[in-house]
Amino acid sequence: MIRLIIHGCNGKMGKVVAKLAKENPEFEVVAGVDKNTFPLDFPVYSDLKEVKEEADVVIDFSYHEAIPNLVKEAAKRKIPVVIATTGLSEEELKTVEEASKEIPIFRSANMSLGINVLISLVKEAAKVLEGFDIEIVEKHHNMKKDAPSGTALMIADAINQVLPEKREYVYGRYTKTEQRKPNEIGIHAVRGGTIVGEHDVIFAGPNEVITISHSAQSREVFGYGALKAAKFLIGQKPGLYTMEDLVKKG
């Protein structure tokens, strides 16, 4: 039995993780942390420092500003952390890196296994489709605060890893009056309704266009991925881990 603390437990994704964990005999949610401390099926605290229960892993679906305090306290308590929160600043990422010297930390901008297959495909496409223009269009619900999505940036970074010359990220084209440069990756954000998450990667070349797409039909895909990541962290050495590490392990 893997004992979980859900950080951000009263948010949309926190509730999804709690539901999936309750349905899975491999997991038990022993406590939650949230600024809204109304109780669920487990005790809820306003800070990890207040949690009395022993746990094996923390799963975080909160807000980027909460991450530094979370990882510092988790490092003190030697509890591994799964970070699914996006929009982290450079300073916040440095704090995560420091904490990963003490505990294993799994961080991914997207917990979907399907998105990580998409990333593998676009990396292969980028190697082959030399000279093609690359554009990324991401769509999310109207409550999402950060733009572009962490997943869109993760896709762009993955493409840049395999290109012989790094490309510049261009966020939208409003006010631009010159033609598109060959060394660009365009990244565009759509916000509306209840869209869970859609990502299209467009390779546009002479007389042909290839689009590789992923559409999340339910938030549960991210919850399943977070639980897989939590299970993966058990027994790992301190360090930073990604979905690529989980996929390699199978």
Q: Has 230 been labeled as part of a binding site?
A: no
Measured at the CA of 65, the angle between CA 63 and CA 68, to 5 degrees, comes to 115
User: Among positive and negative, which fits the CA dihedral 232, 87, 168, 139?
Assistant: positive
Residue 211 labeled ligand binder: no
- Quote the CA–CA distance of 189 and 138 in Å, as a whole number: 5
**Annotated active-site residue in 140, 188, 199, 228:** 140
Residue 87 annotated as binding?
Answer: no
Task: List the one residue out of 124, 113, 125, 75 whose CA is nearest residue 96.
Answer: 75
Ligand-binding site membership of 36 (annotated): no
Per the annotation, does 24 bind a ligand?
Answer: no
> Was 84 annotated as part of a binding site?
yes
Is 175 annotated in a binding site? The answer is no
Cα 2 from chain centre: 21
Question: Does the annotation place 95 within a ligand binding site?
Answer: no
Written as six digits, the tokens of 16 are: 């999804």
Q: Which tokens go with 180?
A: 């598109």
Task: Catalogue the E-assigned strands of the chain.
Answer: 2-7, 27-33, 44-45, 57-60, 81-83, 104-107, 133-140, 168-171, 184-191, 197-205, 208-216, 239-241
Query: Catalytic one among 19, 22, 64, 144?
Result: 144
**248 annotated as a binding-site residue:** no
94 catalytic per annotation: no
- CA pair distance 192, 133, nearest whole angstrom: 26
101 assigned to active site: no
The annotation status of 35 as a binding-site residue, yes or no, is yes
- Is 86 one of the annotated binding-site residues? yes
Task: Give binding residues as ranges.
Answer: 8-13, 34-35, 84-86, 108-111, 141, 150-151
Active-site residue set: 140, 144
Task: Give binding residues for (S)-2,3,4,5-tetrahydrodipicolinate as ranges.
Answer: 141, 150-151
Task: Give binding residues for NADP(+) as ranges.
Answer: 35
Task: Give binding residues for NAD(+) as ranges.
Answer: 8-13, 34, 84-86, 108-111
